[in-house]
A and B are shown apart, each in its own frame.
Chain A
Amino acid sequence: MSVIIFLVVLVLIIAGGFLISFFWATKDGQFDDTYTPSVRILFDDEKEENPSSK
């Protein structure tokens, strides 16, 4: 039955990993600008291939 204890500890470690990634994301400034990325993601990157299109 100690499997539950093992699982609880394992889950806490995994969740702790996410907590650490949250720390990293905050310090990295990912929550500083919450608007521009939503615009940026819509732009295509391909334009570089054919510069004189349009």
Chain B
Amino acid sequence: MNSVAEEKVLVKCYHCDSTCEEEIITHDDKPFCCTGCKTVYEILQENGLCTYYDLNENAGVSLKAANFAGKYDYLAEPAIEKQLLDFKSENLAKITFFIPSVHCSSCVWLLENFHKIQTGVLTSRLNFIKKQLFVSYDPSRVSLKEMVELLATLGYAPLFNLESADKPQRSSKEQHRLLLRIGVTGFCFGNIMLLSFPEYFQLDLQNNVDAGYQKFFLYLNFLLALPVFFFGASDYLKGAWVSLKENWKGTTRVLSVDIPIVMGISALFIRSTYETFVHQTSGYWDSMTGLVLFLLVGKWLQQVTYNYLSFEHDYKSYFPLAVRVKEQGFKNVAELKPGEVMEIHHQELIPADSLLLSEQALVDYSFVTGESAPVEVKYGDHVYAGGRQLGTRINLQVEKQVSQSYLTELWNNEAFRKDKISRTSDFANFFTRYFTYAAIGIAVVTGLYWHFHNQALVWTTVTSVLMVACPCALTLAMPFAMNAAMTILGKNRFFVKNQNVIQLLTETDAIAFDKTGTLTEGKSGNVKFTDGELSAEEKRWIGAATSQSVHPLSKLITEHLSGSVPPDEGSVTSFKEIKGEGIEAVVSGQRIRLGNALFLGVPQVGLPQDGLPHVGVPHLPKESGQVLVEINGVYKGRFSVKSKFRNGWETVLEKLSLNYILALISGDNSRDREQVAPYFNEGNMHFNLKPQDKLDFICKNQAAGRKILMIGDGLNDAGALRQAHVGVALSEDVNAFSPACDVILDAREFNRIDEFIGFSRIAMNVVVAAFALSVLYNIVGISLAVSGHLSPLYAAVFMPLSSMSVVLFAVGCTYLFAKLKKLI
């Protein structure tokens, strides 16, 4: 048996490169693992697109589980179609698909050649990073549904959910504006530098020719500086103005960092204009434009983010786009009204709170609550949105609109309404609060001093102080160092939403964990068979029996067994499930019974074995997650199923517990309590929590002054993730959907989370050191300025030099420490 299995391993599917386990379909002398893969090959061959396989080995997507009969019927509904299309006229329609399975250059090639496979498609263009396919097609020749079905057949099923109907706002506009600003400022800066060179090398003003040039360069520089001040720096000007207005009205007490920047830039601009037109000497144009350029580059770095990840998902990304409503056909889920009757099929998500009209149903709420066992519902019972229907088709009467249902109400919570970005770190707050006052203070004192000693120098020194005090090195150190840290963390698959998050990370003092999917690996469990041996045939019988049941334990056993022998489902002749006890089935004439000790009549812990029907039964530890097996009345052994905890979870919790208060907030029952107990205080372990309870837990602790880092994975953590100081979403596949959060962490790196937090602290310390360095520069610069020695040439050299060295220091140190910590 084993040797046969090993031989089979060697055969790999020509299309998807997965091992052909069950059967090998040979077509055109090439092996395929399933008919799905073969179909794709045939389609590609017919259209002469086999280059697909030349570009990358294992290019294809495995289609083993693909079955979409009727799945895309709702796309034929005109109302739904209209919501998805970007544009539609009689002969031209445009749509953007999101295709999660895009993974290699072959995908780009095939999808961009989509028009060769599907008649009616005019053009198709892929954005690989964002996994978006832009298709324009002729709606009179091909329908949306046909197109999507062909894409799905090829293994590139587009993803539709409730969010797809909301047209995405083009956020790239903002980025474009910034790029344009950088372009213009860079252009002007470069030219001003070139035109200032004669000045640096001392023009001879007695010489007529030189003097003529000097004037020409002077006015040209002025003209070139105008767009920099009014266009390049306009965001800072606006920001400062808004901040001043708010302070005037008393809505806020904090002066924004824009104010000292604008003071610096304005001082440079006014002073240079004065020098140019009154003294006919060169001003500080090069310093001013250089400064604005650096600031803009820093700003650009600041908004760099992983644009292939989305940190803003809400329930809409999880909900289906459309549902079949009785007598109305398909309808957008958001438009469901109370009283309407909808049909939900096996494995479909229930989109709204409703009443069950069918006799009974089994609903899996693990998605919402984290509780793994499905709930049985009877006619007339309430069914909550977010549950997944298991089994046959059911009818439900909608009770509440989608946006007001039990689950989605969470998103109406205050935590989701306020913009989380507004949460600034203590550090930045402290800095901006005092810097402006200090700068103005020094300028005033200097002015007063010179007023009494040498009136001619008042104007020069005051403007010089404001120019030098401009916190440009300070404001640059932060984005550059944080950008370096972000890049390094991203390489280790710890993706932070933006730079601010790194600062927030360093401030946390407590960590709350979700259990299912966070400490444990998804819903999978560790299944072990003990107390005996099972032959391959027996395994197949048991697999066949358990595959009939939807109980989580049965599912795990089915999964466990199908790894070694594929179950033979057709052979089940009778099947009975007794809720809470076990299952009884006849497979190939064998009577199989699986269940707990009570069900099989097996004694519990410590009972004497003599005189009991089943001989050879050892002491059974009394715990849940035990499935005993009996075949034809003979006890064969038992499966023990334990939650599979993530690799290294114990060490990481131990390390974290040294510096943090740890808490567990789980939506599941407390069956794993003993296993996690050593790492959490008794009072900090909570089970059976609803999503709202988790959110409340965070709120309660925040009220007590704690800054909580929340680590979770599911929709049931969404509220807590949002409310927490920093929310970390753990994800098996970072490109898949994760709830709204600040950090997306690849689940494989879970055991290194302490390193990542540690590194964010280092990065923050580097920033502080860079700040100290730039303050030192500022003191030197200001003392030069106060004493009246800051000539344009000094300024031209000093200001960029200080900024550059601070930036280099910050970035260099961040990388150096990352190297020392073995993060790169």
Return chain B residues, CB-CB under 8 Å to A35: 128-129
Q: Are B187 and A15 closer than 8 Å at their CB atoms?
A: yes
> How many chain-B residues does the 8 Å CB contact rule pick out?
32
Interface of chain B: mostly helix, strand, loop or mixed: helix
The residue that B54 contacts in the complex, of A8, A27, A54, with Cβ under 8 A, is A54
Q: Are A33 and B129 closer than 8 Å at their CB atoms?
A: yes
Q: Are B54 and A36 closer than 8 Å at their CB atoms?
A: no
Knowing A4-B213, A26-B180, A31-B179 are in contact, say whether A40-B48 is a contact too (CB < 8 A). Answer: no
Asked if B126 lies at the interface with its beta carbon under 8 angstroms from chain A, I say: yes
Return chain A residues, CB-CB under 8 Å to B175: 31
Question: Which residue of chain A is the closest to B208 with respect to CB atoms?
Answer: A1
Return chain B residues, CB-CB under 8 Å to A36: 108, 126-129
Question: Which residue of chain B is the closest to A1 with respect to CB atoms?
Answer: B209
Q: Give per-residue flags for A9-43: 1 if the beta carbon is below 8 A from chain B beta carbons, else 0.
A: 00010011001001100110101110110011011
Return chain B residues, CB-CB under 8 Å to A40: 108, 112
Q: Are B47 and A27 closer than 8 Å at their CB atoms?
A: no
Cα A8 to Cα B55 in complex, Å, equals 50
Q: Are B183 and A42 closer than 8 Å at their CB atoms?
A: no
The residue that A26 contacts in the complex, of B126, B127, B179, B191, with Cβ under 8 A, is B179
Return chain B residues, CB-CB under 8 Å to A5: 213, 216
Which chain B residues in 153-173 approach chain A with CB under 8 Å?
Answer: 172
Shortest CB distance B92–A (Å): 20
Question: Which residue of chain B is the closest to A53 with respect to CB atoms?
Answer: B48
Cα A42 to Cα B47 in complex, Å, equals 20
Cα A34 to Cα B187 in complex, Å, equals 22
Q: Give per-residue flags for B23-57: 1 if the beta carbon is below 8 A from chain A beta carbons, else 0.
A: 00000000000000000000001011111001100
Cα A27 to Cα B184 in complex, Å, equals 14
Q: Are A8 and B128 closer than 8 Å at their CB atoms?
A: no
Question: Which residue of chain A is the closest to B224 with respect to CB atoms?
Answer: A12
Asked if B176 lies at the interface with its beta carbon under 8 angstroms from chain A, I say: yes
Shortest CB distance B287–A (Å): 21
Asked if B83 lies at the interface with its beta carbon under 8 angstroms from chain A, I say: no
Question: Which residue of chain B is the closest to A51 with respect to CB atoms?
Answer: B48
Cα A22 to Cα B180 in complex, Å, equals 8
Shortest CB distance B135–A (Å): 15
Cα A25 to Cα B45 in complex, Å, equals 38
Question: Which residue of chain A is the closest to B55 with respect to CB atoms?
Answer: A43
Question: Which residue of chain B is the closest to A5 with respect to CB atoms?
Answer: B216
Shortest CB distance A22–B (Å): 5
Q: Are B50 and A54 closer than 8 Å at their CB atoms?
A: yes
Q: Are B216 and A26 closer than 8 Å at their CB atoms?
A: no
Q: Are B180 and A39 closer than 8 Å at their CB atoms?
A: no
The residue that B172 contacts in the complex, of A29, A39, A53, with Cβ under 8 A, is A29
Return chain A residues, CB-CB under 8 Å to B130: 33
Shortest CB distance B329–A (Å): 37
Which chain B residues in 90-114 approach chain A with CB under 8 Å?
Answer: 105, 108-109, 112
Return chain A residues, CB-CB under 8 Å to B172: 29, 32
Question: Which residue of chain B is the closest to A32 with respect to CB atoms?
Answer: B172
Cα A50 to Cα B54 in complex, Å, equals 16
Cα A6 to Cα B184 in complex, Å, equals 22
Shortest CB distance A12–B (Å): 7
Q: Are A19 and B127 closer than 8 Å at their CB atoms?
A: no
Shortest CB distance B317–A (Å): 22
Cα A5 to Cα B213 in complex, Å, equals 8
Which chain B residues in 213-228 approach chain A with CB under 8 Å?
Answer: 213, 216, 220
Question: Which residue of chain B is the closest to A23 with respect to CB atoms?
Answer: B180
Cα A53 to Cα B52 in complex, Å, equals 12
Q: Are B183 and A19 closer than 8 Å at their CB atoms?
A: yes
Shortest CB distance B117–A (Å): 12
Q: Are A39 and B128 closer than 8 Å at their CB atoms?
A: yes
Asked if B510 lies at the interface with its beta carbon under 8 angstroms from chain A, I say: no
* Other contacts beyond A4-B213, A23-B180, A43-B108: 13, CB < 8 A: A19-B187, A26-B176, A26-B180, A32-B172, A33-B128, A36-B128, A36-B129, A39-B105, A40-B108, A40-B112, A43-B55, A47-B51, A50-B48
Q: Pick 8 A–B contacts, CB within 8 A, sort by A.
A: A5-B213, A8-B216, A19-B184, A22-B183, A23-B183, A26-B180, A47-B51, A53-B48
State the 5 A-B residue pairs at the shortest beta-carbon distance, nearest first: A51-B48, A36-B128, A39-B105, A54-B50, A33-B127
Which positions in A face B, CB cutoff 8 Å?
1, 4-5, 8, 12, 15-16, 19, 22-23, 26-27, 29, 31-33, 35-36, 39-40, 42-44, 47-48, 50-54
